[in-house]
Structure 1
């Protein structure tokens, strides 16, 4: 049974743990979070805040210390001193503040996080193809192999186009203009054009034309062409500059011509500019970063393996690992292999091993189940449940996992183990350690180093991962298997109220998985399960018949409750609370009953794009744990009449 939260007491506790009223420059709230701007970050006890009943987690982004509460955040906010909440009305929220490193990490993570699933998928596919070739199940000269390899390799060949999409979303630029810009970079090396060679017209790519010793110029200015397939940094820089150019153009040009004149002007300027300067500079920067890390590896492979393996999970916690991810991708793209990413496998699997060790050691059934599920997720490369839910809170298992990772990293470094693809380190991505050419297979050492880290972490955690006090506490709280009667009764109660509920898309646009949302609170599912939509319309509709329980005055978020107890959160855009209602026109108020298809709000998408605000609209069931959800459509275009989620009572655990 959930603990009842006293929201006034929670507000008092949060205020105390962030350093008191004197440490707060401003505080506002959105639909789910208290957003503090603190004078002294060191004055806030993040760990203690996370342990408070009623607090989901703490997120730091853009200079804000954000305490995630959920639907009840207005009640907690109301419990703060009036001097703070009144002052907040007249203060500008400093959502754009933060140090350079924080901003850089936020940018890189927002660009790469949405594509990691596809990247892991093609990495696994290429690894499995390599296994099939080594096992003589298929010939690498067969057309079957070539077709499957195309499915795996296309991601990297057209990586600039893929990153153009996510970069445009992050920088608030036109997605389709950015994709065209990326396509123009690839066009110079993929598409044959008519050129004069020794006075004769021939068909060849511009890159091949230049490589044959001919001059390529633009208005008389020499152009040094590059191969842009699989590159990372050039397109990110180019789309950022594109966004800077689009904003003044969109403001200057009349709306009757803006939609087609702005893209034309941007492309006329950006394609030559990128080919002349930004592209070569980006390629040079990417190669320079890779060269620095490669030099460190060449100096001492063992030391590099140990350091990467031991520090990787720590870097993940602080988000700074995103600064290295592009280097991994760059190495594989340019060289076909990477010696650095291999050391990440022990780092991930050691956390899973530590969680497994606790699973074997613990007696408390609830903690045992948590550790077991976290270990299973970690084995497949998802370490957040293990780190944040199991090892880090207990400290000892986390330290043991880091040390165990170092042992595996040393093995991998000493044997010059390589990987030949990318993807989140885990059991399914181990095949990326197979050399497709068969010339330098070190997959055995990759498996050995990873296995050693897992086993060592599990064994050491089992024997040394709990203090005497923890062991005594575990014994005291251990209980026999809980009866399922109460769960059955609860399930029956829900079944009587809810038979089946179908939710429509709240807005027209492109449906995307929740995991691709560039906000860890939503993408992690901590707020509940649901969907996200990249909107093409500014009209937001009710997905079903319900009562409006939360209606933010800013118009960027709404909480709905059906008469069967399903709680729905519709959040328009990421960090849109910073707009303070600008561009939003709400059409409903708290307590109002709405029908499916009723207009909840209107939003100015062009304004959000001009201000660089991500317009991704999220629809969650904040009490999704009480129900079973079936997603009716895969990512594609949807409209407010498209049924996207079916909600049913949770399946009973009774045994018949």
Structure 2
């Protein structure tokens, strides 16, 4: 498909000496950074006079073609033309990562994997809920063709979850996306699912809690099959394992066979390991959960209800709930009732209550837009959009929901609430608590009060304790008297995002800034390693090293803040971003912390250009006459056209 940057790409490649002269290519927030075999082959003057190129310079051992803030789009086309597509993002792996606890790394991974599919996840949940409602009120029947087709539409993402997650996990772990898809698909392969429903050929650990039936073998090794539909953790572990195997194979594979050798052996190694190792571990963990639950019920029904309710959402996330499903089925068949689903029933409702509180509390427009559909989805029993898209990445809301469900589970057991028949989810699950022998509604009424109580507790706790992430990152700056931006018809004033000495752009060493090719502004030599938002804005770019951030203000002004010169090369953890690209930030919010001493020790200048990148949209941009500024001082005045 043609791109508007195709012609520009041809000119750039030709004038850096052609494809054969390019060793590698990366980009920062404004420029393409080439590592050339012979920089003398580059036609700098031609590039400087090319439409779409701001300037071209050789600096720090790199040949830099300055494009502007839309450089990521140009980079994609140029790298594809150079055949470097697979290298995109690899440089990020070499960058210092902020140290996180194992749990925080797990949450970061879950968030990164689920964010790309969150919208379709919510759409599927809402559709399933609407269909359940239409069946409940008699407009549709579960045997109608209309219902079957729409149910397939809404349920597909949940049934084939491992395939979707295989794709996004591969992106997160920077490995071959189609290998990730193949791993997810193999876990749902119909023949394997059919084999799991057939006759067992042997039994492992018979008579113990780990007793497992074997339905097939791989090279003589017994394989314990598990239904991986709708599961999350097994495929994530498998794709993570595949990413490591893939990187190793790339190092040892001969170039002539690398194209098929690497994916072939990655799959041949990973998929059997998934079925032989991950499957049994999941099965045994599920069995242990089931045994523990039964033992707790014998000791204390209240502890049993608290344990099940509090951890149910965690069990589902890891696929451990499968060890409880056979117990539910067996009890309903033999005893006529069960209590497991009674203890866990409120889980989706507490999730709904939490995201509703977030909807009312948050100022983040994107989070608001996700919260309301997730709320309705949870009411009909589909809690995945709430968990993976909202509560789990923020940890505290997820914990609140678990606590409330645990309390509700304990109360349900105290009230003797029982579950009689497998039925609907969410609000459509209440009929499952009607005693079929006496037609008593007592259980439904009690459960309704418990559910409402759990939702009220969840809502209140979430509303009181939830804070937007951007608010949590603010510090003393939020309490300082930051001047309101001037909002007259003719101009707008922006406070300084940094504290330090002010110099004109003409004194900046980098030609792209000093010539005002990228826009007008000022530069600051910072005396404090903190960068704040000068006004409410959206973070439209935040380069992965943390050295440069782009802000778009409500007034239409777009600001680029580039901390230091050539600091994109820093590998020593000098930058600690406090927000992410796409975030909505408020005036006075801390965006970035940076270590001035580390930047200087690495031999780089700390001079920080602050420029209005869309200067052409305004009559003029003027800088302060002050020689030094604090966070409360006006740095730039933008004259409107």
Larger radius of gyration between Structure 1 and Structure 2: 2
TM-score of Structure 1 vs Structure 2, range by shorter chain: 0.3 to 0.5
Normalized against structure 2, the TM-score is what? 0.43
What is the TM-score with the length of structure 1 in the denominator?
Answer: 0.42
